[in-house]
Structure 1
Amino acid sequence: MTSVAIERQSTTEAQHPVAEGQARASGSEVGAGGERLIRIEGALRHCDSLDQLWCHLANEGQSLLQARQSLVFCLSGRNRWRVKAVGGLARVPHDSAQVLAYQHLVGSDWREHRDETQPRLLDLANVLEDEGIPAMRHGLWIPLSHGDRPIGAGWLLTRERAWETPHLALASRLAQAYGHGASAIRGRRRVSLGHARGARGLALATVLGLGAALALVQVPLTSRAPAEVVASEPFVVAAPMAGVVDRILVAPGARVALGDPLVQLVDVELRNDFEVAQRKVQVAQSKALRLQQAAIASSEAKRELAIARSELRVAEAERDYAHDLLDKAVVRAERSGVALYGDPQDWVGRPVRVGEAVMQVADPADIAFRLEVAAADAVTLERGASVDVFLDAAPLEPVSAVVARAAYKAEKNASSIANFKVMAIPETPSEDMPRLGLRGTARIHGEPVSLFYYLFRRPIVTFRQLTGV
């Protein structure tokens, strides 16, 4: 809708003098409009909103009173009148120069006749022609009221011919009907608004009461973490020297005793070195024995005997060293327990470094729980904190434990998530302890906090991270 839409409408209608000449006498016009007035009063009761009511008034009233233009005004903030509906137009062209001029005219007239509720005739030519705006000459302003009380709305009708007394009576009757309808709609809105405010007040009171109740209830602050059953103090079987694993001599999970062989390293070179060292010892012994027999008669042999004995001691030391290395090719258990490692085939032919762990030997009755607590949940990591471990193999039989130690610094795991390594030990050790390697979930109990903080700690942290408040 352009800014001159209403001007084009009024100009086009003004260019039909034949139709105007064929109009009936004003008295007969009003008489014929009585029947339509009854129909309009019945139809306006179906309007559910003020916008719908104003649009109905602008269109039906224009047709009933044979007006060229029909505009409905409402009093808005700062005592300004604004056009809410225009007859024949779906949307009000608020930027139209004629609409702005009509608003200024209605505002000036209202300041002079603020409390009047009777229709008034307006001469529009002198006012609007000063602005260079073509308009109908004769205007009729009907304030809308409910009884004797204005409701802050009005109706402006314009046309070329003068308005007569029957028109004023008909327009006044129609304005009272629409004023009553507007008051009824506003009353329903105030009731609905009152109910809405009451509901909001009740909801606010409920929320405040619930918040106060949550603040008074104390519950222990808890956090959850993945858990695994591990040995409490395992013995690490490490490679005593660099070499290649020939085979694993025990099965995974097998019980071993003190001194049992566990790992066999490739010892071909070590065994050859030991045999060569033994031959050197035999050669040194033969040489020393020969010189010892010759030293009885020869002073020179006596001098060489001391050197030969030194060479024998060196050869024996090399033999002993080679023997020790050969013994280390077989790694033996230094304590009894259960052998803990993966697949034996993963180790066959695998080179190992000095000190590299091959397996663990642990007592199956001496267990602990290894927890990986995320850094965001590390609020309950005090020594001695109570822990409930729910293993996947027995979710209905939690194991009670306490925190023994916790890492001081968080480290990233395989998923690049920073977490703290925590060790927990059972409160009451018994023979019927969980099997090593079982997994589950642990719940760590901390200090008592309010139920409000317990429920909304994570949302508050997320809100602060997003907003920085």
Structure 2
Amino acid sequence: MTAPLSPARLLLDLDSLRDHAMDAQTLNALAFVMANELYPLLPFHQALVFEHRGDAWRMLCVSGLATPVEDSPYLVWLGAAVPWLATQANGWQPVWIARDAVVATPRVDEGWREWWPAGAFVVPMHARDGSRMGMLVFLLDAPPALPLTDVLRGVWRTFAYCWEALAGRHRRRRRISRRQWVIAAGLLALLMLVPVRQTALAPAEIISREADVISAPIDGVIARMLVRPNQPVAAGTPLFALDETTLRSRATVLSREVDVADAELAAATQQAFDSPQSKSQLTLLQGRAQQRRAELGEVTAQLKRTVARAPRAGVAVYADPNDWLGRPVTTGERVLQVADPRIPGVVVQLPVADAISLEPGARITLYLSAYPLAPLHGHIVETSYEARPTDDSVVAYRLLASIDDAPLPAHARLGLHGTAKLYGQRVVLGYYLLRRPISALRAWTGW
């Protein structure tokens, strides 16, 4: 027996015990305080703290032990003894249970005689709504004195309050039963079978579906760009001009050569009447003169083609005049486009990684970066057979779509960029969500 504590010491111990319980940050920390720091007030052989989880009990702490060995014979026996002990203390008040005063099961009685002393002082822990949170068990040789149990009532209430504060939310989450989990899993499985329309996002640009490519008519160097980017032009409007210096010099030289060839041919014709030798050269000189005239005619024709003209009315589409001034071009090299702004379309670069199965005439919605709140709607007109690298080095399919909005919105201007949303076939929601992960898994594993 230990000597009784003085009133001052008792108050100090109770105050310290309350502070330590209130300072606990976790339920395990609180259980450690409950199992170890009551020894000065209530000398015990051992103290155990158990948490009530549904229909099961879990040990939180044992006095004097940092981490109990879960497969030890003692803890295995506690797994059977604690539920029986809980039935003996199912009220709100602490209960003294003497080994000789109760009839326990053979297994509980055998283990009690081996590991526990004469009695156990059980303190139930209840939340304010009446639900049972756990219990605190003190192993003693005799029941605690009545004055001490009255003093400790405030301690039990403090422990219960802190326990509820630390474990209240966690306990509410743990109340989900197995049946509820099964129902939730079934609902999730049904949700995965809901049909949805498959969609994909891809960069897009507004172009003209009726556009003529203006290429270099001959080899040369671009001297002047005669129209500005996005400038409206009429049919026959000059678009750009090639440098004529080389061609004019060549034409001047050929003109002189034609004159010389004509003079030689005329002189040989006059001499042919008196000299048989001069008569034999007429055919050669006549062929040379025709060759020079043909060369001069070809150069003259090229001079007429140094200015490229618009084949139709529309808008001149290209980036910057400075990109072309002084640039050598070859015959057929693309320089600009003349596009009809009244027939706009949408070109979409759909990356291979995002490709979906698209039906003929699949719907498309274009969200322009400059007008995100005014989408444009249309349908797929044509798709490329194979994917090719884009300017951003992304392998993508090229899709051409129409713009079906009538009347045509004013902001559907050529050259605007945005994001196109493509609508494919209907699939189940599970496939819609798992398509990309499955594709990545098959790419990594080959399965």
Does residue 303 of the first structure (1) align with residue 274 of the second (2)?
Answer: no
Separation in structure 1 between the aligned mates of residue 170 and residue 278 of structure 2, nearest angstrom: 128
Shift of the 420–117 alpha-carbon distance from structure 1 to 2, 3 Å rule, reads same
Decide whether the 8 Å contact of 1:211 with 1:452 is kept in 2.
Answer: no
Q: Following TM superposition, by how much is the alpha carbon of 1:458 offset from its aligned partner in structure 2, in angstroms?
A: 7.4
Amino acid of the structure 2 residue aligned with 1:54:
A
Determine whether 1:143 maps to 2:124. no
Checking the alignment, whether the CA contact within 8 Å between 2:98 and 2:118 is kept in structure 1 is: no
| Aligned position for 1:279 | 256
2:192 maps to 1:208: no
- Aligned pair 1:441/2:425, yes or no? no
Instruction: State the SS of the aligned residue for 1:359.
Output: strand
Q: CA deviation at 1:246?
A: 0.9
Task: Tell me, in whole angstroms, the C-alpha distance in 1 between the residues paired with 2:311 and 2:409.
Answer: 25
Structure 1 partner of 2:46: 72
CA–CA separation in structure 1 for the residues paired with 2:61 and 2:372 = 72
Equivalence for 2:86: none
Distance 1:274 1:297 in 2: 36
2:307 is the counterpart of 1:330 = yes
**Residue 326 (structure 2) aligns with:** 349
CA shift, 1:364, in A, is: 2.0
Matched, 1:376 2:378: no
The CA deviation string for residues 136-174 of structure 1, in whole angstroms up to 9 with x for no partner, is: xxxx93431559xxx9966378xxxxxxxxxx5658998
Partner SS for 2:33: helix
Alignment check: 8 A CA contact 1:292 1:305 kept: yes
Q: Secondary structure at the match of 1:384?
A: coil
Structure-2 separation of matches of 1:394 and 1:351: 39
Q: 1:314 to 1:349 in 2, by over 3 A?
A: same
Deviation at 1:331, TM superposition (A): 2.5
SS at match of 2:281: helix
Contact 2:122/2:136, CA 8 A, preserved across alignment? no
CA shift, 1:401, in A, is: 1.6
Q: How many residues matched?
A: 375
The 5-angstrom pairing of residues 194-205 of structure 1 reads 196-199=173-176, 204=181
> Which one-letter code corresponds to 1:348 in the other structure?
L
Q: Which residue of 2 is the match for residue 117 of structure 1?
A: 99
| TM-score where L is the length of structure 2 | 0.64
Answering whether residue 36 of structure 2 is matched by residue 55 of structure 1, we say yes
One-letter code aligned to 1:144: A
1:406 matches 2:390 = no
Between the aligned partners of 1:169 and 1:392, the Cα distance in structure 2 is 80
Query: Could you tell me whether the CA contact under 8 Å between 2:31 and 2:49 is conserved in 1?
Result: no
CA contact 1:143–1:153 (8 Å) conserved in 2? no
Q: How does 1:308-319 map to 2 (within 5 A)?
A: 308-319=285-296
Instruction: Tell me: CA distance 1:467–1:202, structure 2 relative to 1, closer, same or farther (3 Å).
Output: farther
More helix by share: 1
Q: Cα offset for 1:267?
A: 1.3
The answer to whether the 8 A contact 1:403-1:423 is kept is: yes
Aligned to 2:238: 261
Once the two structures are TM-superposed, the CA of residue 335 in structure 1 deviates from its matched residue by 4.0
User: 1:246 is matched with which residue?
Assistant: 223
2:208 aligns to what? 231
**Are the counterparts in 2 of residues 57 and 72 from structure 1 also a CA contact under 8 Å?**
no
Q: Check the 8 A contact 2:217/2:331 in 1, yes or no.
A: yes
Letter in 1 for 2:197: P
User: What is the percent sequence identity of the aligned residues?
Assistant: 27
Q: Matches of 1:277 and 1:413 in 2, distance apart?
A: 47
Q: 1:294, 1:301 within 8 Å by CA — same for their partners in 2?
A: yes
CA contact (8 A) 1:255 1:339 kept: yes
TM-score when scaled to structure 1? 0.62
Rounded to whole Å, the distance in 1 between the matches of 2:442 and 2:177 is 30
Q: 1:94 to 1:245 in 2, by over 3 A?
A: closer
Deviation at 1:444, TM superposition (A): 1.0
1:58-81 Cα offsets, whole Å, 9 max, x none, are 33233xxxxxxx5416599xxxx9
Aligned in 2, Cα 1:318/1:358: closer, same or farther, shift over 3 Å? same
Change (3 A) 1:39 1:169: farther
Pairwise CA RMSD of aligned residues? Answer: 5.2
Q: 2 CA distance for matches of 1:294 and 1:463?
A: 91
Deviations 1:358-394 (A, max 9, x none): 1112222232201122333211444421112233455
The whole-number CA distance in structure 2 between the counterparts of 1:233 and 1:457 is 40
Partner of 1:405: helix, strand, or coil? strand
> 1:252 Cα shift?
2.7
Give 1:279 shift: 1.7
TM-superposed deviation, 1:224: 2.1
Secondary structure, counterpart of 1:349 in structure 2: coil
Deviations 1:397-434 (A, max 9, x none): 43332212333444444544443322112347877673
Q: Partner amino acid for 1:72? A: Q
The 2-side partners of 1:264 and 1:82 are apart by 90
Q: Rg bigger for which structure?
A: 1
CA distance in 2, matches of 1:323, 1:215: 74
Deviations 1:193-215 (A, max 9, x none): 87544336587367436525533
Aligned partners of 2:436, 2:285: CA distance in 1, in Å?
A: 86
2:266 is aligned to: 289
Q: How far does residue 275 in structure 1 lie from its aligned partner after superposition? A: 1.5
Gaps of 5+ in 1: 1-25, 63-69, 87-91, 96-102, 120-139, 158-167
- Give the Cα separation in 2 of the matches to 1:172 and 1:230: 94
List alignment gaps of at least 5 residues for structure 2.
22-26, 51-58, 69-73, 82-96, 102-115, 124-134
The one-letter code of the counterpart of 2:139 is W
1:270 counterpart (223, 231, 247): 247
Q: CA deviation at 1:319?
A: 1.3
Counterpart pick for 1:367 among 344, 348, 360 = 344
Residues 427 and 295 from structure 1, CA distance in 2 versus in 1: closer, same or farther, beyond 3 angstroms?
Answer: same
Letter of the structure 1 residue corresponding to residue 46 of structure 2: V
